[in-house]
Chains A and B, each alone.
Chain A
Amino acid sequence: MKVKEVVEALNLKVFSGYDGLSNTITGGYTSDLLSDVMGNAPPGAIWITLQTHVNVMAVATLKDLSAVVLVKGLEPEANTIQQSNNEGIPILGTNLQAFEISGLLYNLLNTK
C-alpha cells in the first residue's frame, strides 16, 4: 500500500516529504524510543510516534522507513521538516492517539 493511499483512507495531514508519498508501506511500528525503532522496526514500516525532533528523521532514514505519523495533533520541528523533504520520507499527522491510529493502520494494512 502506498503512503498516499493511507493518507487518503485515514485523513492524515501531510507536513512534508511529498516526494515520498508513493513510498510503499510494508508494515508498521509504534514506539517513542529511538533505539527500539532502530533495533526492531522492519524496513518499509510506517512509524507512529509522539517524537517531533530531527533525530526521528535520522532513524527513519537509516532504517529505510516509508513514513512517520505524529499522533495527538503534534507538529514536527522546522529542521525535522527540512530533513523529511531532503530524504523524501513523509511526515504525516493525526489528532488520534497512538493506540487508535495504530489500530486503524493495522486493519488497513492487513485487509489490502
Chain B
Amino acid sequence: MHFEYRVQGGDFVRAGQASSQVKKILKQLNVASQIIKRIVVALYEGEVNIVAHAFQGKIYVDIETDKVRVVLDDVGPGIPDIEMAMRPGFSTASPIVREMGFGAGMGLPNIKENTDKMKISSVVGVGTRLEFVVNLKE
C-alpha cells in the first residue's frame, strides 16, 4: 500500500497530521502497537524537520508485508554536514522554533533509535531526503 502526504514548511499548526494519519492506517491494519509507536516517533520527527527547516516536502509511505518504508523528500536549505546533524544536541533551529520546544537536537537521534534502517542524503541549497525502514516482524 502506498500513501503520499504534502508538508508545508513553517506550518506548525499542521505539523504531525501526516504522522497521525499513518498511525490510524497502521492501527486499522492491526500492526503491533510496539511497532506503530516506533514508526510514529520516527515519522513525526521527520515531518517536524520539514516544517522547521524546509520550504516544502513530501512524505511517501509504503506498507509492505514485512516492513514499512518511508521517504521524506524536501525542498530546502539542505544539510551541509550530516554527521554533525546526527549528533545528539546539535540543531540549527531558530530561536522561535526552540521556544516551542523543538530544535533540541534530538530528532534525528530519535529517528535512528526507532528504525531498522535510516539514510540521509542532502544537497545544500536544494533539499534533503530522509529514508527509513521499520521491520514489521521481529
Contact = CB atoms under 8 A, between A and B. Distances in A.
Interface of A: 32-36, 38-39, 43, 49, 51, 53-55, 58-59, 61-63, 79
A59 B37 contact: no
Contacts, number: 62
Given A33-B104, A35-B106, A55 B45 contact: no
22 contacts: A34-B101, A35-B45, A35-B102, A35-B107, A36-B104, A38-B44, A39-B109, A49-B101, A54-B13, A55-B15, A55-B101, A55-B102, A58-B15, A58-B16, A58-B17, A61-B20, A62-B16, A62-B20, A62-B23, A62-B44, A63-B37, A79-B13
Given A39-B106, A55-B12, A62 B101 contact: no
Interface residues of B, number: 24
Given A38-B41, A39-B113, A62-B44, A51 B101 contact: yes
Nearest to A54: B13
Interface of B: 12-13, 15-17, 19-20, 23, 37, 40-41, 44-45, 48, 100-102, 104, 106-107, 109-110, 113-114
Given A35-B45, A35-B110, A38-B45, A58 B100 contact: no
Contacts of B40: 62-63
A59 B102 contact: no
A92 B40 CA distance: 25
